Each structure stands twice: as structure tokens, then as C-alpha cells.
Chains A and B, each alone.
Chain A
Amino acid sequence: MRIRLTSIFVDDQRAALAFYTDVLGFTVRHDIPLGDASWLTVVSPEDPDGPELLLEPAGHPAVEPYRDALVEDGIPLVQFAVDDVAAEYERLVARGVTFTQPPTDAGPVTVAVLDDTCGNLVQIVSPQPV
């Protein structure tokens, strides 16, 4: 068994695509029209055959209260690995990204949490420099 795809709910698929590609730096893997929405996935350019992230429309009525409660407490819904959280933080802040948690030493890793502008908090993580 392998993890091939995971998903997050996004307010607007096109806005999400712009953020996840132009700002975060992922690339589109699939963008297949499917009724009113699309089967829209992105992958890391560093791992193009790796796990896909599905940007799923947030239409279900349960999504809003679920996400609101998590965002209120600062809880991220997805986590991405980066080489250097501090460098990514500088790069993304310069792009206008809002962080709810600045780079923080969390034992063996450094973490930070950002707002993806589509309704979710995203944690980035890098190993502690040796």
C-alpha cells in the first residue's frame, strides 16, 4: 500500500491553483473538467511522480464549520517538507503570504504555519540544521 494522493478542500479551485503553483511552486499534474469543477491535482517539481495533492471544491456544508474550527486554533490541515523553513518563510513573506506561526524550533525539526488563502492552514517543516 502506498500513499498516492491526498486532498484538501479549497474555496475556489482556480485561486487555489494560482496559489499552489505561482506562490508555493507546485506544478499541475491533472486538470480534468468534471461537471462544475475539475479533477485538479498538483505535485512537487522535485518529485513529479510522487504523491499528488487534490485541490477539492469546498462545497459540502460540513467543510466550513470543520475548517473554521481548525483555523481558529491554528491547526494546519496539510504539511509540506522544505529544505529550510527560515528561507521559505522569507521568500513567501516577500510574496505577501501570511503566516500564523513564524519559524519555530520544535525539537528535531523547524516548523512554520501559513494561510493558503483558500481556507486552510499549511505547515512547512525542515530538519534542524546539523
Chain B
Amino acid sequence: MRSVADVFRALDDETRRLLLDGLVARGGQTLFELCTMLVTRHGLSSTRQAISQHLGVLEEAGLVVTERRGRTKLHWFRGEPLAAITERWPTDREDAP
């Protein structure tokens, strides 16, 4: 069972937030592509294994989904778990003084 806490924990890391940014910009990327993006755009030199683990955390939280196309595994952003947060704490409440 996924919880809101899983989503917050998944988001509580700059590398994972950058991975989500990359996947929002363009879905369907490989691990290799995402590693290249982190190095060339953000100067991060994490190992491929570390990035793979970060993607695993995001997938566990439901923020990333993967699918094989041919022999290659691709990653997409999935925003649905974020909706649970704003359902619980609405962004359009205006009763505060």
C-alpha cells in the first residue's frame, strides 16, 4: 500500500526531483538518457546504480512508471499520487485570514 508519506519521502531528494523534471520534460527515457541528463544539465556525477535506485524509489511511490519497448526499459512521470496530497490539503482554500 502506497502512502502519502512514501510520496513525500520520494520527493525529499534533489536528484529524484531532477529525475522527475526530466521525465516531465519528455516521457519515455532510458536509464542511460537520464544519467546523461543529470551529468550534462546538472553536473551530477552519481553512479548509474545510484540513479537506478532513485528511479526505484520513485516507482515504488507511484511517481514513475516503466514499460519495455522492444528490449529497452523506458520511464515516464505519473502525477496521480500528487493528487492525493492536494485532495487532502486543497490548494484553492481561501478561508485563511
Chain A residues proximal to chain B, CB less than 8 Å:
68, 71-76, 98, 100-101, 104-107, 111, 113, 115, 121
8 closest Cβ pairs, A-B complex: A74-B30, A74-B32, A73-B31, A107-B40, A106-B40, A71-B71, A75-B32, A100-B72
Say if the beta carbon of B29 comes within 8 Å of chain A: yes
| B31: nearest chain-A partner, CB-CB | A73
Which of A68, A73, A107 is within 8 Å of B32, CB to CB?
A73
Chain B contact residues (Cβ within 8 angstroms of A): what range? Answer: 10 to 19
**Shortest CB–CB separation between residue B7 and chain A, in angstroms?**
25
List residues of chain A with CB within 8 A of the CB of B37.
104
- For A105, what are the chain B residues with a Cβ–Cβ distance below 8 Å? 40
Chain A neighbourhood of B97, CB < 8 A: none
Cα distance, A72 to B48, chains bound together (Å): 13
Q: How far is the CB of A98 from chain B (nearest CB, A)?
A: 7
Flag B20-61 by CB within 8 Å of A: 1 or 0 each.
000000000111110011001100000010001000000000
Asked if B32 and A76 make an inter-chain contact with CB atoms under 8 angstroms apart, the answer reads yes
The interface of chain B, by Cβ under 8 A from chain A, is: 29-33, 36-37, 40-41, 48, 52, 68-74
Shortest Cβ distance from B15 into chain A, in angstroms? 17
Chain B residue contacts of A115, Cβ below 8 A: 70, 72
Q: Smallest distance from the beta carbon of B43 to chain A beta carbons, Å?
A: 10
Known interface pairs A101-B30, A104-B33; A72-B70 also in contact (CB < 8 Å): no
Q: Do B30 and A104 have beta carbons less than 8 Å apart?
A: no
A104 CA to B35 CA, complexed, in Å: 13
Distance in Å: Cβ of B84 to nearest Cβ of chain A: 31
* Beta-carbon contact of B40 and A73 below 8 Å: no
Chain A residues with Cβ under 8 A from B30's Cβ? 73-75, 100-101, 113
List A contacts of B48 (CB < 8 A): 73
Complex: A16 Cα to B78 Cα, angstroms: 38
Contact of A111 with B36 at beta-carbon distance under 8 Å, contacts A71-B71, A72-B71, A100-B72 already known: yes
